[in-house]
Amino acid sequence: MLSTTEIFAPIQEGLTRVEARLTSQANDRFPFLSNALVHVYETSGKRFRPALTLLAADFHPHDGVKVEIMATAVELLHIATLIHDDTIDSSNFRRGKETLSSMWGRNVAVLVGDYIFASSATFVCDTGHVGVIRRFSETIMDLSSGELRELVGTFSCDQTVDGYYKRIYEKTASLFSTSGESGAILSGASAEQAQALKEFSCELGMAFQMVDDILDFEGTEKEIGKPVGSDLSQGILTLPAFIAMERYPKENPVSRFFDEPENADLLAKAVDMVQQPSIIDSAYAIAGERCARARGLLLTLPKNDSRDSLEELLAQVLERRS
């Protein structure tokens, strides 16, 4: 399997400039805020979303600056979301580094998150493209709406698989979609190509989140670095749980666990049921259908290094193990 560095080779210089933009943005205000921002930006993620923006721009000759500004914006938006998510989940660590809320308290984390949300919007404005700016604002609405849908639905048996797809679109695929589409639009791609890259990115995001949700049930606590079935233990139903509940409508420990959320035995039984290989396989098959559709969209685009990278990214979504 190729490393991320290898996949991102066609856009490595652009990604480096995105990092530089993040760093220079950290020093705009007063020392406390700068320190907080530097801490956050150094908790380096995979830069998956800005890479998508840069790769999606590569189907049309273009001035790189606007696309790189956009790539910086989508990464900032992702970071802001993570900060508020960690605050809500009371998580103390992210990628091995202490979270803002753990270091300086939830109130600081809420405000630094707000600042980064706003900062991401300011970057988008510098693209000068009102359509892209508006889509970006709608994406922030999607992200908070998706998180809220998840939060208020916990431990409710009214959660549906349709609601699940809406939720993962809002909380994950929406930003993937905007990352790809905006790269295409700002590079001057045709409306058809921009639409194909938007839909490709959306399907990639849907599959990415489904696999994330499947991994939550796979392997052992040691392998995945958190308790197996942590979504379920928090009262959140995801794809494998929905498949299990559909397959065993009568004898279902999930709803019994939701009635008694303190009952560890019921949780263990529910996780056991969902973890069955046939259920995990079915869930991967559904994620695989999204990837197949994404690949079809990709093949409508001219072949180049970036298309190869996007195809490789897609393949890795199904193969990743963390």
Provide the binding-site residues for a second copy, judged by CB under 8 A: 28-30, 32-33, 84, 87-88, 104, 106-108, 110-115, 117-119, 121-122, 124-126, 128, 130, 133-134, 137-141, 143-145, 147-149, 151-152
**In the bound complex, what is the minimum distance in angstroms from residue 75's beta carbon to a second copy?**
16
Quote the least distance from Cβ 115 to a second copy, whole Å. Answer: 4
Contacts of 175 (CB under 8 A, 6+ apart): 49, 74, 77, 78, 81, 139, 142, 143, 205
Q: Which two tokens stand for residue 3?
A: 């490393």
Closest separation between CB of residue 144 and a second copy, Å? 4
Owner of token pair 């666990």: 257
**CB nearer to a second copy: pick between 17 and 149:** 149
Closer Cβ to a second copy, 185 or 298, answer by number = 185
**Gap between the Cα atoms of 295 and 168, Å rounded:** 20
Minimum CB distance to a second copy smaller for 122 or for 300: 122
Residue with Cβ nearer a second copy (2 or 88): 88
Give the nearer residue to a second copy in terms of CB position, either 115 or 200: 115
For residue 97, count CB atoms less than 10 angstroms from its CB and return exposed for 0-12, middle for 13-18, buried for 19 or more.
middle
Instruction: Tell me which DSSP letter residue 155 carries.
Output: T
Please list, in sequence order, all residues whose beta carbon lies within 8 angstroms of the beta carbon of residue 71, skipping any fewer than 6 positions away: 14, 15, 18, 49, 50, 51, 53, 54, 179, 183
Long-range contacts of the stretch 86-95 (C-beta < 8 A, 24+): 87/113, 88/147, 88/151, 94/43, 95/43, 95/44, 95/45
DSSP string, 77-88: HHHHHHHHHHHH
Instruction: Tell me how far, at minimum, the Cβ of 36 lies from a second copy, in Å.
Output: 8
CB of 88 to a second copy, least distance (A): 4
Place of tokens 């700016």: 133
The beta strand positions in 55-189, using DSSP E, are 93-94, 97-98
Quote the least distance from Cβ 118 to a second copy, whole Å. Answer: 3
Q: Which one, 119 or 309, has the nearer CB to a second copy? A: 119
Pick the closer one to a second copy by CB: 154 or 276: 154
